[in-house]
């Protein structure tokens, strides 16, 4: 961005934007999808209801991740933290599947 | 990103808005038109008559189907409402033994369009009608349907991101409600126009974008379903419960009086309107009549289905009441479709949606206005700038021109032409791409004036084209009290005038002198 006196070289800025854009779209979708599934599994509501709440909320989660991908100070933080959240959600889903199989 | 949260959000707003802006503009404008989908269809099918009561139409439909397809496996009747002039029927023929059962949704040639009032078959000219604007709005065209829907979803997702980051960017959101400085420097006026159209209808923009994503949630976010159900069918059965299918008994029995059954259904719904009627095994002792409530009766889009014994007309079962989350989903769907809206509210929908188009358009223009002042040589801008500028002109004037061109084609293409409906659609894209080509060939200022004038002419001349080529015209609509068609012609004139006003303004526009000092980025989120 223009705040600095010395700007990073062009390729570096392009790589930064690309890393954030891929994180916003790809990682954002992954986290939103896993969150939808985790909510569908863990919410204390009938299955259909829980499924619906998770799906309805997923787009807000997607938007939040996408915005954060561009707001974070460094692009690698987005990837690191995003992958951490995604694996946390995946573990939650896996645990719930161990406890109770799918219909 | 370096810089503050607000600065990074301004950057995100600018670029997500720009990259998806052109497709979003087309989606927004065709979506806006779709609030008048039945009226557009009526206009594009001048061979059809006037809306009539559903009971009258049901009577005609049963008479037609009894004659045409007495031993069909099932009939489906989409009844007209006060905005539609036809009942649409299709039937599934009984499977011949040894032959594979046809696909559930395969409609093939087994369909008919009946006049709502007389019940006589009508054959309107081959056209997609308002259905095209509705479909292209969420699934594009010339692309496989699912791919098109994913493109629309990606655009909608970044619309949501652009709106949210735009709100963050905006530190004076309340004050800007009351700010419009048409005589200030160009950049300020464009910024004000962008803010005004965005902030004024902000709840609508947020609602329409989010609920738009929700309408195709099953495609975009199936993972909650996958996590809970092994087979998607189990989920669909829970979500859309249906009466069990019954085997044909082979004992002939006359069908119950359909208008009477519809009357009972309406009473069950406290005066609600029936919409889709499905009859399985008509003419057989095992016949079942399923009546689905009109999607515009309530805020929630799916109004429920009642099943009746097809011989006695007794109520057998009703779909269970949905839980709160499922109901929320249906309300979101209903909010997006706006079918529940009475005429006044429908106009509010239409105007808010037009404000959304203006928001996208002014945002796109603002991108160039803001950067032009900062160009090293404003007379010779770099390639990216020129590309954005030309695409802006070609799209902002081109999409309305394309939509009008489609209506021109509807009136001018020979009625018996092969592939007529497809050519109507082609004319939309031919006109739009023609406008982009025009914008590329001419100096930008001239291009704005010329393309906008052309669009204004194409839109405003439509009532005349219609009067010259069909029996539909403003005078006859006025004389017969066909207010929907009167409003249609007047709206075309008003939209044409609005485009002409834009062309006039573009002609009188003088680009601002290069500012001595650069404006601070945080004030101008573009």
Q: What local confidence, expressed as pLDDT, does residue B521 receive?
A: 45
Give the nearest chain A residue to B222 (CA atoms): A55
- In a domain, residue A92? The reply is yes
B235 touches A: beta carbon within 8 Å: yes
Number of domains in chain A: 1
- In a domain, residue A48? The reply is yes
Are A63 and B160 an interchain contact pair (Cβ–Cβ within 8 Å)?
Answer: yes
Segment A4-25 shows an average pLDDT of 84
Q: Which residues of B touch A45 (CB under 8 A)?
A: 323, 325
Q: What local confidence, expressed as pLDDT, does residue B277 receive?
A: 96
Segment A17-28 shows an average pLDDT of 94
Low-confidence ranges of chain B (pLDDT < 50): 105-107, 515-526
Are B157 and A71 an interchain contact pair (Cβ–Cβ within 8 Å)?
Answer: no
Helix (H) or strand (E) holding B317: strand B315-318
Q: What local confidence, expressed as pLDDT, does residue B490 receive?
A: 97
Cα gap B405→B25, rounded to integer Å:
17
- In a domain, residue A6? The reply is no
Cα gap B376→B378, rounded to integer Å:
6
Task: Identify any residues that bridge with B86 across adjacent strands, giving them in sequence order.
Answer: B115
pLDDT digits (tens, 9 = 90+) for A65-85: 999 999 999 999 999 999 999
Q: What local confidence, expressed as pLDDT, does residue A53 receive?
A: 97
A66 touches B: beta carbon within 8 Å: yes
Contacts of B514 (CB under 8 A, 6+ apart): B373, B378
Tell which of B18, B213, B221, B329 to mutate to test the A interface (max A CBs under 10 Å): B221
- In a domain, residue A5? The reply is no
Query: Which has the closest alpha carbon to B482: B496, B491, B472?
Result: B472
End-to-end CA, chain A: 50
Segment A50-74 shows an average pLDDT of 95
- In a domain, residue A61? The reply is yes
Are A49 and B9 an interchain contact pair (Cβ–Cβ within 8 Å)?
Answer: no
Over pLDDT 90: what percentage of chain A? Answer: 79
- In a domain, residue A75? The reply is yes
Cα gap B288→B244, rounded to integer Å:
10
Cα gap B205→A15, rounded to integer Å:
32
Query: Which has the closest alpha carbon to B351: B27, B20, B83, B36?
Result: B36
Cα gap B396→B358, rounded to integer Å:
9
pLDDT digits (tens, 9 = 90+) for B220-238: 999 999 999 998 888 988 8
ipTM: 0.91
Q: What local confidence, expressed as pLDDT, does residue B522 receive?
A: 43
Give the nearest chain B residue to A16 (CA atoms): B1
pLDDT digits (tens, 9 = 90+) for B152-166: 999 999 999 999 999
Q: What local confidence, expressed as pLDDT, does residue B372 receive?
A: 85
Q: What local confidence, expressed as pLDDT, does residue A98 receive?
A: 94
């Amino acid at each position: 961005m223009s705040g600095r006196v010395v700007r990073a070289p062009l390729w570096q800025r392009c790589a930064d934007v690309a890393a954030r854009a891929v994180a916003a779209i790809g990682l954002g979708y992954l986290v939103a999808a896993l969150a939808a599934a985790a909510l569908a599994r863990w919410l204390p509501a009938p299955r259909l209801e829980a499924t619906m709440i998770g799906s309805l909320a997923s787009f807000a989660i997607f938007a939040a991740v996408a915005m954060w991908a561009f707001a974070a100070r460094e692009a690698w933080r987005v990837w690191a933290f995003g992958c951490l959240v995604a694996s946390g959600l995946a573990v939650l889903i896996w645990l719930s599947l161990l406890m109770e199989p799918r219909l | 990103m370096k810089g503050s949260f607000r600065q990074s959000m301004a950057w995100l707003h600018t670029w997500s808005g720009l990259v998806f802006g052109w497709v979003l503009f087309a989606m927004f404008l065709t979506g806006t038109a779709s609030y008048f989908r039945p009226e557009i269809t009526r206009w594009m099918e001048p061979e059809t008559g006037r809306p009539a009561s559903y009971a009258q139409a049901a009577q005609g439909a049963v008479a037609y189907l009894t004659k045409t397809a007495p031993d069909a496996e099932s009939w489906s009747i989409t009844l007209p409402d006060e905005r539609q002039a036809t009942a649409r029927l299709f039937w599934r023929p009984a499977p011949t033994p040894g032959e594979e059962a046809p696909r559930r949704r395969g409609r093939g040639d087994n369909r008919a369009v009946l006049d709502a009032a007389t019940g006589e078959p009508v054959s309107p000219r081959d056209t997609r009608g308002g259905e095209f604007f509705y479909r292209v709005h969420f699934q594009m065209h010339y692309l496989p349907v699912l791919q098109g829907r994913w493109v629309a979803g990606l655009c909608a997702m970044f619309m949501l991101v652009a709106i949210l980051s735009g709100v963050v960017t905006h530190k004076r959101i309340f004050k800007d409600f009351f700010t419009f400085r048409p005589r200030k420097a160009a950049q300020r006026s464009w910024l004000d126009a962008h803010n005004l159209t965005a902030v004024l209808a902000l709840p609508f923009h947020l609602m329409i974008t989010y609920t738009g994503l929700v309408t195709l949630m099953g495609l975009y976010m199936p993972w909650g379903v996958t996590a809970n159900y092994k087979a998607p069918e189990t989920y669909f059965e829970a979500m859309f419960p249906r009466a069990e299918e019954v085997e044909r008994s082979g004992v002939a029995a006359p069908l119950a009086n359909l208008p009477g059954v519809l009357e009972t259904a309406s009473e069950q719904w406290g005066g609600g309107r029936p919409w889709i009627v499905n009859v399985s095994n008509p003419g057989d002792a095992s016949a079942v009549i399923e009546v689905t409530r009109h999607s515009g009766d309530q805020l929630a889009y799916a109004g429920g289905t009642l099943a009746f014994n097809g011989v006695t007309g007794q109520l057998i079962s009703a779909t269970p009441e949905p839980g709160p989350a499922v109901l929320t989903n249906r309300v979101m769907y209903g909010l997006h479709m706006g079918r529940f809206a009475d005429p006044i509210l429908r106009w509010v929908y239409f105007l808010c949606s037009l404000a959304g188009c203006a928001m996208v358009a002014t945002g796109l223009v603002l991108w160039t206005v803001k950067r032009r002042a900062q160009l090293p040589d404003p007379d010779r801008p770099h390639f990216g700038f020129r590309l954005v500028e030309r695409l802006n002109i070609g799209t902002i004037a081109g999409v309305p021109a394309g939509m009008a061109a489609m209506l021109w084609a509807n009136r001018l293409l020979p009625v018996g032409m092969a592939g007529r409906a497809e050519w109507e659609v082609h004319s939309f894209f031919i006109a739009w791409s023609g406008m982009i080509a025009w914008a590329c060939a001419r100096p930008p200022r001239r291009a704005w004036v010329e393309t906008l004038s052309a669009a204004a002419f194409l839109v405003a001349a439509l009532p005349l084209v219609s009067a010259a080529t069909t029996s539909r015209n403003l005078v006859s609509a006025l004389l017969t009290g066909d207010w929907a068609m009167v409003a249609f012609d007047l709206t075309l004139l008003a939209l044409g005038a609005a485009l002409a006003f834009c062309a006039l303004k573009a002609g009188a526009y003088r680009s601002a002198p290069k500012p001595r000092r650069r404006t601070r980025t945080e004030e101008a989120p573009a």
